[in-house]
Structure 1
Amino acid sequence: MTSGEDATFTEHVALAGSVPAGTHECTVDFLIDGESRGFVQKLTVNVPGLKIDDVEVPENGGPAVFTVTRTGPTTNPVTVKYATANGTATAPGDYTAVNGTLTFAAGETTKPVPVPIVDDAVNEPDETFTVNLSAPTGAAIVDGAGTGTIVDNERDGTFSCQATAVKIAGLKAAQANPADVPCADDVATVAQSTLNAGIVKVETSLLDARTDQTPDDLNSAPPAVGDSGSAKATIEKTKITAGLVVIELGVIKSSASATCVKEPEGLKAQLAGASSIASLKINGVPVTVGTAPLTIPLLVGSLQINSTQKTGNTIVQRAVFLDTLLTDVVLAESKANVEGQPCG
């Protein structure tokens, strides 16, 4: 080329595959005979981005349709590969695996990725799988993993519940839902009760036991947040005589529940229990109590206050438990349990 003539050339700017989406500044220095002569150019390069969303779909709701979105410049074509991957949901039992390549023509900003869902007859927790993006051309991946959540639509479990105001040596007073399984709406009230077993005598007044299931017919609808089985027991006044020990109690209350709650992995049964005692006297001496667990040693055994027992999917809340060598006394016992999978 003769000195003084104009030079015409075409520039090609290539970006490394690891360059993130967004706007990038490049500096180009034109060398003459291998040396910089001050001919410097600054370029602005816009890199499109690709992201995939998360999808939640009922098991019987048809395919889970993910959306892949291109952001930034849309003047050039872009391609990206996609493929499903197992999580707690697995193919082919829970969904049909898919893979392929998406091509965005100039001006296109979104592309769907449908994943067929298998509607089985198994009651199981909500399950998840992912759709992953890879190997993009003409763009960078911003969010390359879409989570698909399959919400189960079967229910083969139920709640159980039972409330008992007084139990002593196999004798009971005011028990709601004696069958225990399944939980059912029930109320048992007794004005006064006196039960004896050996040297132990239990006198109570205004006993109330209640159980409740919400909704009443859990098999008629799919599981929902707030579905529950619960039990409550109340005694207004109690006097226990065990040999030389006299125990007097004010209002006694207990409650237990199993409730469907929403957690990241789906619906789960949450167990809860609580109890309280308004006042307590032992041989006329007041003892401070409330809602916290407390064990009091006695000449005839031990007095346990506000005990909560969780075993597997069962919770038992006892406001008062008198443990003696001859017999046991239970006051205001509430029980709730999960049978099978009532919560998704």
Structure 2
Amino acid sequence: MADNATHHYISSFFLVGIPGLQDLHCWIGIPVCLMFVLTLLGNSVIIITIKLEPSLHQPMYFFLCMLAMNDVALVSSTAPKMLGIFWFDAHRFDFDACLTQMYFIHTFCIIESALLVAMAFDRYAAICIPLRYTTILTTPMVIKMGLAGVIRAVFMVLPCPLLIKKLPYYTKYVINHTYCEHMAVVKLANANTLINRAYGISVALSVTTLDLTLIATSYIKILQAVFRLSSQNARSKALGTCAAHVCTMLVFYTPALFSFLTHRFGKKVPPSVHIIFASLYLLVPPMFNPVVYGVKTKQIRDRVVGLLFPQKKISENEIFKHKPMLVESIS
């Protein structure tokens, strides 16, 4: 199983799935499959709609398109293996394949966080400094912000599998999880893993703290601008949109923080509860993002209806006959 000459490892890991609920795996796979299909369908519609409609080639929709592509990649990195475990008893996972999945999952999660920050900044610029919006968020700037989020994620996560490759894995190979999560893999090593743990916690805390602070700051500024509106109807509409966006972010960050903290401090948390939360935060946000950011955005909603039902397509003049208003920029 181990090659001492090269300080190598066991050949594969055994992913249990959801500990204690193995008898229900067949049924658990049904909602997982449904979320996978809805995620692929919803995000594909968003991507195609934005691509086909020149009027949607604006910063807000570019970021939304990036988010949709990242969501597709994230759920595609996790759901197929989960379904293999739940439906086909495909518990074995090659060591290197496990590290590859781990790398991409954590990379896509950090990219997701960066895109949520970018979208919050876009709304801040559109609402709080509208006269400078087009000069700040140019197409090159949007591309640079997207690349910055990708580069940050790629290089922040890269040391994780490289450090794991240096650890000896001789006896423990059972992972009580539905996918290869960093700390779940680190805990199985037959060696001191202080460096791995310290690096993992530093990445998680730095990303979460920085991104949540930036998002919170943006929405506080947005709310201050909204409450200065004289129209009660406009305030209600704006608050409803902001609340939907904030709920989406909470759905993403809350289970992620729960899983992160449980690995380190939650010894009394039942393993099944921990794994369910850790799995949901990779499946639920990508499924709901198209609804919150797509269906609730009037321009996207109108375009989707127009593409699916050409006979009901609203004319360009009817859609854009009114001048843009402050609240419409966040609807």
TM-score (normalizing by structure 1): 0.25
The answer to which structure has the higher strand fraction is 1
The answer to which structure has the higher helix fraction is 2
Larger-Rg structure: 1
TM-score (normalizing by structure 2): 0.26
Higher relative contact order (CA 8 A, sep 6+): 2
